[in-house]
Structure 1
Amino acid sequence: MRIISSAGKGDFILQETDQKICEMHYKNWFSGSAHTRLKGNQIELSPKNVWANKVRIHKNGRIIGDIAFNLRAQMIIRLETEEEKDIRYILKNKGSMKARFQVYNESEALQFTLLSEWVWKKFRYNYEIEFADFDERIDRDELLAYCGYAANLYFALISTV
């Protein structure tokens, strides 16, 4: 499975083998607003503030969670389940010279890793996804779409520091 950058403004495709699962489209590079259609659901992500360090997640017009950047340079993805329970995932960059994002659940169990590949010709990142023991408390493809967005947001926020 892969996340493939498809446009300079941040757009990316979530792809399994040769099948496109969804494509995240950004309004423009500076707005941070993005949307996709995934399994019949309309997903929209929009910054809560001008610094874009916190982002709202909307699914079919309803706020279901957020993505926040914490002081440890981690991205916290908080999602509300249908039972209205909060589930949190943490995206951490574990790479030094090359970005390697690991996604953990609340129990600190590794869910999957996004291995970055810098594409010089296009000046953007693609990611190969390596799965660990995914807990399936939320749809895997949906969480991967949020993680692709969070990885882009991570680089945008880190580059401003």
Structure 2
Amino acid sequence: MEYLATSEKFTSFKLAKGDKVIGELNYKNWFKFNAEIDILNSKYQVEPKGFWGTTVEVKDGKKMILKFTMNWDGNILLQTYLDHEKSYTFKHAGFFKESFILTDPKGTELLIMKPNFKWNSLNYGYQITTSEILETFDEKNILLLISLHCANYYMSMMMGM
């Protein structure tokens, strides 16, 4: 399936499949990683933890449902705590044709994200292609939006923000 994430003012991203908005990722401040994810009227808080903020937690109220940490090799390790615990890896791929990939523990690609920047409108976004496997996941929408956050997190870390 094809999804498109587009930004408005660099602090707000909308994720859509065709004309249908799936959810939003809204940053409180561009220089911080605190954000709110809104999916079908459910709101989740995204909060960095620790001195360096290298671990980020996603909470539904007070309950942590997901966390991710940037590993020493540049990959981001995701752990979900929804119905049952699952692990994923979010990694950067390519240099000239930059993209990001979300995989399961077996290395199966679940989604590929390709960033694009439109200089004329100063809009930033991502084209996201998901696998048939990811489309069957109950947690698909939260994984799509947290992958969007991971891509922004990765890019800002690489730019030294």
Instruction: Give the TM-score, by structure 2 length.
Output: 0.88
Larger relative contact order (Cα-Cα within 8 Å, sequence gap ≥ 6): 2
Unaligned runs of at least 5 residues, structure 1: none
Aligned residues: 158
Residues 122, 54 of structure 1: alpha-carbon distance in 2 compared, 3 angstrom cutoff: farther
- Alignment of structure 1 residues 120-131 onto 2, 5 Å: 120-123=119-122, 125-131=124-130
Q: Secondary structure at the match of 2:133?
A: coil
Deviates more, 1:45-54 or 1:12-21: 45-54
* Amino acid of the structure 2 residue aligned with 1:86: E
Partner of 1:139: 139
Question: 1:16: Cα distance to partner?
Answer: 0.8
Aligned residues of 1:53 and 1:157 also touching (Cα < 8 A): no
Alpha-carbon separation, structure 1, partners of 2:31 and 2:146: 18
Partner of 1:155: 155
Partner of 1:4: 6
Instruction: Give the TM-score, by structure 1 length.
Output: 0.88
Partner of 2:37: 36
Question: 1:40: Cα distance to partner?
Answer: 3.6
Question: 1:138: Cα distance to partner?
Answer: 4.1
Partner of 1:16: 17
Question: 1:73: Cα distance to partner?
Answer: 0.7
Q: After the TM superposition, list the runs of 4 or more consecutive aligned residues in structure 1 that deviate by more than 3 angstroms.
A: 121-125, 135-138
Q: Secondary structure at the match of 1:146?
A: helix
Unaligned runs of at least 5 residues, structure 2: none
Alpha-carbon separation, structure 1, partners of 2:118 and 2:68: 26
Deviates more, 1:125-134 or 1:39-48: 125-134
Q: Secondary structure at the match of 2:26?
A: strand
Aligned residues of 1:15 and 1:21 also touching (Cα < 8 A): yes
